[in-house]
Amino acid sequence: MSSFYNRLMDSYNVQHTHSGVNGKRLAERSSALAETGWTDDGGCLRISFSQEELQAKKLVMQWMEEEGLSVRMDGAGNVYGRLEGKEDLPAVLSGSHLDSVPHGGHFDGPLGVLSALEVVSAWRDQGYQPRRPFEVVVFTDEEGARFNGGLTGSQAFVGNIDSEEEKNRVDYDGRPYEEVLKEVGLTPEGVANAKRDLDEVHAFIEVHIEQGKRLEKAELPVGVVTGIAGPTWLKVTFEGAAGHAGNTPMNDRWDALVAASDFVVQVKDFPPQVSDTGVATIGKLEVEPNGVNVIPGKVQLTVDIRDIKAEWKQEIVRLVKECAENVAEQHGIKVQLDEMMNVDPVEIPENMQQKAAEATREVLGGEPYLLPSGAGHDAMIVGRHVPVAMLFTQSKDGISHNPKEWSSLNDCVQTVHVLKRFVEKVCTE
């Protein structure tokens, strides 16, 4: 077995293997998947629409067939493994994605797919059949590293693909969209026509690593997601007057960088005034003329604002805009505000949160840990059309999109137990 498998198993508590859920089986499948796209630094290079992503999908499809599921791949490359229920009802779906960012980790995406598959394996071992059909799903191109986009599979699933717009895309090597898809047996038309009949879908549940430190600090293996934040990106441009650093006195300057600095310091204080889940980040800043001995005449920066409720996010946006205008006035310079992106957040339905919380209590005891998702996921796209829920698994040091990304097998298996109980509850509806 691989070193990845050995590391998973080294500290595994076999007492977590029960009720059909098998930690060794999960470790074996995780290890086998990790070998597709394995990099020299121990990370993962499994870019969307690559042979590595296709190989990983085929491996999962093989496991699905071994578990007795009916398996198909749609025109977008999304994979479905279906277990029929006792009754012919809309299905419960669970899964995630298998593509990675360049030099990413082995848990972001695959854990959600393998957790859903492990639920099926556990049911098979127990001789259990749910009331509703249950489907394990693998969505294509969640990360978007190939075409600087992302969430392609889930967008196709809900029928939100513009085929003409997609055809004009080129990848990071300048290769046309159609050419890249052809290499993995797909076509732009197939992607555009992959919409699922959403009347066939009762709910979608996604397991994902947290990509943060809250669960680790709380010393808990799994948490219940309360909502998925949607980002608003603001471009803020402060314009003053460039001048010579030596010959312009301090009381005769219109320094755009000083104004921008004042703004940056204040922005961090706005989200806590509105909610416990809002965030605001200034991650990009450009200074002109950007000379050592020149007073900055223009500064352009971006503010990434997120929250799990639209009204909360909009209030943070309002405070940020108001602050920019006040700062510009105080410093006697101009400011321009442009909204670059505005994605609505997705709230997890209360009844789905309650069932996830009940499952957590029954499996782990104690009160469930509730937390927001600050990152986007396939569940964010699907959740605009059908009820969704998410479970987060503890991430070591909060690291993600990095070869050091890690979640212990103990935490992963306990998450599967919660998922299994949760799905059983939803399937009885």
Annotated binding residues for Zn(2+), written as ranges, equal 97, 108, 143, 208, 401
The token pair that represents 398 in the structure block: 């909060």
For residue 109, the one-letter residue type is G
Q: What string of DSSP letters covers 41-56?
A: TS-B---TTSHHHHHH
Burial class of 68 by CB neighbour count within 10 A (0 to 12, 13 to 18, 19+): exposed
Q: Would you say 113 and 63 are in contact if contact means Cβ atoms under 8 Å apart?
A: no
- Give CA 334 to chain center in angstroms: 37
* Angle 90-94-98 from CA coordinates, rounded to 5°: 135
Binding residues: 97, 108, 143, 208, 401
Question: Do residues 154 and 73 make contact, with C-beta atoms less than 8 angstroms apart?
Answer: no
What amino acid is encoded at 225 in this protein? V
Q: How many CB atoms lie within 10 A of CB 311?
A: 10
The stretches of 168-295 forming alpha helices (DSSP H) are 177-182, 188-192, 214-218, 256-267, 270-274
Question: What residues contact 290, with CB distance under 8 A and at least 6 apart?
Answer: 296
- For residue 95, give the 3-state DSSP assignment: strand
Sequence-ordered alpha helix ranges (H) in 158-300: 163-167, 177-182, 188-192, 214-218, 256-267, 270-274
Helices (H), 20-79: 23-34, 51-66
Distance of CA 87 to the CA centre of its chain: 32
- How many whole angstroms separate alpha carbon 260 and alpha carbon 257? 5
Collapsed DSSP state (helix, strand, coil) of residue 108: coil
- DSSP designation for 14: G
Are 303 and 234 contacting, i.e. CB atoms less than 8 angstroms apart?
Answer: yes
DSSP letter for each residue of 319-347: HHHHHHHHHHHHHT-EEEEEEEEE---EE
